[in-house]
């Protein structure tokens, strides 16, 4: 059956600034060439959801947006789900866009952001909004959660080559964010140091060596606030030993992925394969 409304949300990686962004520090997020598609068709009977996401919150999210009767929802994705690549934000953005397409409406980026955020909240409690913003817009984005609304500023980035190393299990974003909150004010110095690194990264977006070094430093600060794991530390080490310019956990941590900036993706991918680690290369995605 041909979908009557379709929508797409891009996946993302956080280059720098996760967790600190929740407390008003900036973050830099980058949309990548993977994402989620939603197709909607009308049918008789209860709304059904066919999805590779096994998380029951997916049906809750869908029913926040769609009526309980009359729709068939098909979700497809090439993002690893629940690994910090913004799969829930990509789903939210794709769903909002598919619904608008079905109604023959055009939504601008702000409208997509506003409509997708309640869905993202159903997954993650108190998200900063960075994942939704970059999923909707694509490209590289400076993001700050201000008192009077979020600052979302596009940034230029060079042809950076990335390798994603998958820990094989999901981190619980809401629990990790709550853990960092419980560790304040002790965590505040590390969170501020992450904010400083994000400012430095902004000037290094065309220099993989400088950017990589900042990522590795950011990882060290994320360890300090307790969101890394021995496995993620090992994956950072594995990527750097294979010649990556630098690496860090990306997303909430506790599992999820490690992101490496590299001039030699094949070398990092070979090292990952040799260690039995699932990994793939990706590049920035621009609208
Ligand atoms: C999750 O991708 C990033 C966090 O900073 C949470 C958020 O910004 O909502 C950990």
Question: Best of 9, 21, 225, 227 to mutate for ligand 1, by most ligand atoms within 8 A of CB?
Answer: 21
Distances (CA, A) of 261 to 75, 81, 229: 30, 21, 20
Strand partners, 31: 12
Residue 145 has pLDDT above 60, yes or no: yes
Q: What is the pLDDT of residue 93?
A: 97
- Position of tokens 């990092």? 268
* Sign of the CA dihedral running 96, 98, 104, 108: positive
13 lines ligand 1 (CB under 6 A): no
**Atom 10, ligand 1: residue with shortest CA distance:** 252
Question: Best of 23, 27, 119, 252 to mutate for ligand 1, by most ligand atoms within 8 A of CB?
Answer: 252
Q: What is the pLDDT of residue 149?
A: 82
Q: Dump pLDDT digits (tens) for 196-229.
A: 999 999 999 999 999 999 999 999 999 999 999 9
Q: Dump pLDDT digits (tens) for 82-114.
A: 898 999 999 999 999 999 999 999 999 999 999
Nearest to 135 by CA among 36, 15, 11, 286: 11
- Position of tokens 């990686």? 13
Distance from residue 87's CA to the centre of ligand 1 (Å): 12
Q: Dump pLDDT digits (tens) for 30-53.
A: 999 999 999 999 999 999 999 887
Residues of the chain above pLDDT 70, percent: 99
Residue 174 has pLDDT above 60, yes or no: yes
**β-strands 27-46, 140-146 pairing:** antiparallel
Q: What is the pLDDT of residue 146?
A: 82
21 lines ligand 1 (CB under 6 A): yes
Phi-psi region of 99 (alpha: psi -120 to 50; beta: other; left: phi over 0): alpha
Provide the 8-state DSSP code for 21.
G
Residue 1 has pLDDT above 50, yes or no: no
Q: What is the pLDDT of residue 278?
A: 97
Distances (CA, A) of 108 to 8, 28, 146, 245: 14, 22, 21, 37
Nearest to 223 by CA among 196, 199, 198, 247: 247
State how far the Cα of 115 lies from the Cα of 138, in Å rounded to an integer.
17
Residue 2 has pLDDT above 60, yes or no: no
Q: Which atom of ligand 1 is nearest to the CA of 86?
A: 2
């Amino acid at each position: 059956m041909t979908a009557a409304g379709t929508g797409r949300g891009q996946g993302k990686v956080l280059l720098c600034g996760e967790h600190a962004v929740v407390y008003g520090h900036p973050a830099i997020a980058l949309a990548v060439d993977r994402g989620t598609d939603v197709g909607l068709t009308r049918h008789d009977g209860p709304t059904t959801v066919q999805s590779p996401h096994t998380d029951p919150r997916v049906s809750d999210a869908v029913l926040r947006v769609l009526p309980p009767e009359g729709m068939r929802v098909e979700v497809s994705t090439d993002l690893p789900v629940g690994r910090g690549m913004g799969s829930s934000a990509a789903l939210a953005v794709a769903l909002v866009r598919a619904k608008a397409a079905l109604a023959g409406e055009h939504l601008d980026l702000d409208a997509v952001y506003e409509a997708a955020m309640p869905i993202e909240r159903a997954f993650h409690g108190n998200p900063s909004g960075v994942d939704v913003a970059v999923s909707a817009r694509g490209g590289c984005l400076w993001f700050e959660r201000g008192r009077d609304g979020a600052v979302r500023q596009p940034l230029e980035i060079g042809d950076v080559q990335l390798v994603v190393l998958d820990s094989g299990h999901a981190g619980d974003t809401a629990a990790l964010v709550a853990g960092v909150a419980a560790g304040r004010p002790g965590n505040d110095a590390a969170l501020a140091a992450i904010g400083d690194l994000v400012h430095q990264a902004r000037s290094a977006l065309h220099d993989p060596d400088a950017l990589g070094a900042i990522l590795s430093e950011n990882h060290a600060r994320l360890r300090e606030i307790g969101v890394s794991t021995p496995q993620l530390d090992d994956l950072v080490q594995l990527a750097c030993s294979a010649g990556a310019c630098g690496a860090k956990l990306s997303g909430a941590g506790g599992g999820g992925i490690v992101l490496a900036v590299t001039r030699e993706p094949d070398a990092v991918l070979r090292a990952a394969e040799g260690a039995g680690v699932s990994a793939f290369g990706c590049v920035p995605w621009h609208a």
